[in-house]
Chain A
Amino acid sequence: MKLKLDKKYVPIAATLAVAALLYLGVGVKYPNFLSLRVFVNFFRDNAFLGVIAIGMTLVIISGGIDLSVGSMIAFVGILCAQLITNLGVNPLLAFAIALLCGSLIGFLMGCLIQIYKAPPFIVTLAGMFFCRGLANVISLESIPIDNPLFIKILKFGIYLPGSIKVPTTVLAFLAVFVVFLYLMHYTKFGRNVYAIGGSSQSALLMGLRIGRTRILIYTLSGFLSSLAGIVYILNTPAGNSLAGVGIELDAIACVVIGGTLLTGGVGFLAGTFIGLLIQAIIKTFLTFSNLSTWWTKIAIGVLIMVFILLQRFFSQASSLMRTQAVVEFKNPRPDAAGRASTGAS
């Protein structure tokens, strides 16, 4: 009997193996680590990261990038806190306003990218500063939230055996994950996302509505990062304008570690899920061993580099079989591909 794996699942299988090794490796050192409680905490601590990583997966598969996600968390968090605590707005209404604002900013960024052909990283870099600036304008100080309904939402949860609580934030993340898994693999929209990332030109010639899809991708990413902002304040119960600094790198790390190619067109949401798990394991391990949080950042930076190098190695090995012409067709001049932020070739 021969176990044969489809080639497109190789990176995701490798990631899964790394996750399992890390999990068991840390488990040998700290036996408590393998408990169900710690496993649930992986998701409780990283639910907001998971939510933005889902949006980032879409954006990266379509060949773009979104750097505004971290600032969006801060902006939405402080906006909700301001509305609920200082203006006495119903939390649910505040959430709706926040989601609307986030989607609108995402939509505008998508328009700039699609209609005015601006490079995604520049547009979203501007979005990053815009949101961070707005957050600072609303309040420089952290605003705590103690609205009864908000606390009720926060305290809600499903209990697993052993009285382990799965809180609202984790449920929200899992729900979003399932919805997007369906969107990406079973709808026309999902196939369009892959088509744009594979080759925007061919997708256009095939008659796909790439403009509409690309704007929708950035709108969804804006929506998801504002949802992540809400998840974030449900975790801390306070809005803070300094929240989420550098989170965009963590989200990109989840996506890349999960086997999605930065050049677009290739990748899985399930991979991002495992990428999130790997990061959660590393973070929890560093907390267990009392190391500075900056080590987490450095570890994730190094990890992302290792995975990119591995991807290069794999894709170069497979591209050797194709002709040079195909390679050059897929890596056109930077000014033509600038839109897809593939400056390097």
Chain B
Amino acid sequence: MKLRPLAARQVLGSLVWPILALAIILIFNAFFTPVMFKLEIKDSHLFGSLIDILNRAAPVMLMAIGMTLVIATGGIDISVGSMSAVSGSFTTVLLVVYGVPLAWAIVIGLVVVTMLGLWNGFMVSSIGVQPIVTTLIMWVLARGIATLFANGETILFENPRYEFIANGFLFGIPFPITIVAAVFAITQLLTRRTALGLFVESVGCNPVASRYSGVNVRAIKQTVYVFTAFLAGIAGLINTANIKVADVTRSGDGLELDAILAVVIGGTSMDGGKFSLTGTIIGAIVMQTLTTTILTNGVPVQVTRVIKALVVVFIILIQSETFHSQVRSLFRRRAHEA
């Protein structure tokens, strides 16, 4: 494996694929569903399909930002969907059943989710259990905790301040987009303007060498899982506030694949060692645009899972060295024959 220095050209180069994918879907829409590009300002609020896509992508974007860092360290977190159900369940139950003030309910919900992330991180970094197994356990455990806390019921609520998290506007922009922008800016600053990003990449490249050169591998791994859990918690609040129901069995179900897809489409390698947060954001937009396109063209919802699975297979092939050489030899053979 060659060591590749991160030149600016290469960083930009890695963004070519996700941008191209987005462009293809948008061009498709320009022909078949031009309504999608209509933007308007109503009561000084921005409205339109494109804004809607961003807004709907917000929970996945948040999870995917955390997932990017986890994957960059060579790990994976498939419990994000279930963990997002935990924050929704705790906050809503505390608010509705126990009458806890909203701010405290949100804080407690997020703290509980963060504790789950702490456990994930502990198992992976200190005990050395494979990330896939640790988070698979959490995938089931978190959903169980969410269900038991809500007593297995779906809880409806009416609370304008809670709903603001999903449906409110800040400076004319939907609030979830503001949250994502803030989280993205902070993460980007921390990872690219400090050495943290480099540490994350070095842990993903070679944990043993990183340890010998003085990087605290455990702390880095621990941190990324906690961070991901926290972001999944916020995503869960947005999801719950959006539909005004804490649906513990379905909230966040299957979002882990969307988040992983967003990361991988964005050019972050599944092997770890390098990441691109900007790519991830574009990847999440690609995923949501794809879903919206599928739905607006009248394809049943059930099919989206099949299509997403096929997209994963396609990406696996694109990332594979063997596939590259197979394609290359195919073209070479053609050239010889001609």
Contacts and interface: CB of A to CB of B under 8 A. Distances in A.
Contacts of B147: 292, 294
Contacts of B123: 305
B179 interface: no
A344 B137 contact: no
B316 A118 contact: yes
| Interface of chain A: mostly helix, strand, loop or mixed | helix
In this complex, the interface size class of chain A, counting residues with CB under 8 Å from chain B, is 35 or more
B148 A333 contact: no
B305 A136 contact: yes
B317 A252 contact: no
Contact of A301 (B130, B140, B204, B319): B140
Contacts of A65: 132-133
A125 interface: yes
A304 interface: yes
Interface stretch (B170-178, B193-201, B268-276, B279-287): B268-276
Interface in B127-185: 127-133, 136-141, 143-145, 147-148, 152
A343 B137 contact: no
Interface residues of B, number: 57
B115 to A, nearest CB: 15
B316 A335 contact: no
B199 to A, nearest CB: 15
B206 interface: yes
Interface string A188-232: 000000000000000000000000000000000000000000000
Contacts of B6: none
Most chain B CB within a 10 A radius of its CB, from A334, A341, A342: A334
A258 to B, nearest CB: 15
B338 interface: no
Interface stretch (A46-54, A127-135, A144-152, A157-165): A127-135
A336 B300 CA distance: 40
Contacts of B145: 298
| Interface of chain B: mostly helix, strand, loop or mixed | helix
A344 B270 contact: no
Interface stretch (A109-117, A173-181, A278-286): A109-117
Interface in B211-229: none
A249 B140 contact: yes
Contacts of A134: 306
A313 to B, nearest CB: 10
A338 B271 contact: yes
Contacts of B208: 328, 333, 345
Interface string B277-316: 0000000000000000000000010111111111011001
A343 B130 contact: yes
A117 B137 CA distance: 25
Contacts of A121: 76, 132
A133 B136 contact: no
Interface string A48-65: 000000000000000001
A249 B132 contact: no
Interface stretch (B32-40, B59-67, B320-328): B320-328
B320 A117 contact: yes
B43 to A, nearest CB: 39
Contacts of A116: 316-317, 320, 322-323
A256 B319 CA distance: 32
A312 B129 contact: yes
21 contacts: A112-B316, A118-B316, A126-B309, A127-B309, A129-B309, A133-B304, A133-B307, A133-B308, A294-B144, A294-B148, A297-B144, A308-B127, A312-B128, A334-B204, A335-B205, A335-B273, A341-B132, A343-B132, A344-B74, A344-B130, A345-B207
Interface of B: 1, 74-76, 78, 123-124, 127-133, 136-141, 143-145, 147-148, 152, 204-208, 254, 257, 260, 270-273, 300, 302-310, 312-313, 316-317, 319-323
Interface of A: 65, 67, 112, 115-119, 121-123, 125-127, 129-130, 132-134, 136-137, 140, 246, 248-249, 252, 256, 262-263, 292, 294-295, 297-298, 300-302, 304-305, 308-309, 312, 328, 333-336, 338, 341-345
> 4 nearest interchain CB pairs?
A133-B305, A133-B306, A136-B302, A130-B309
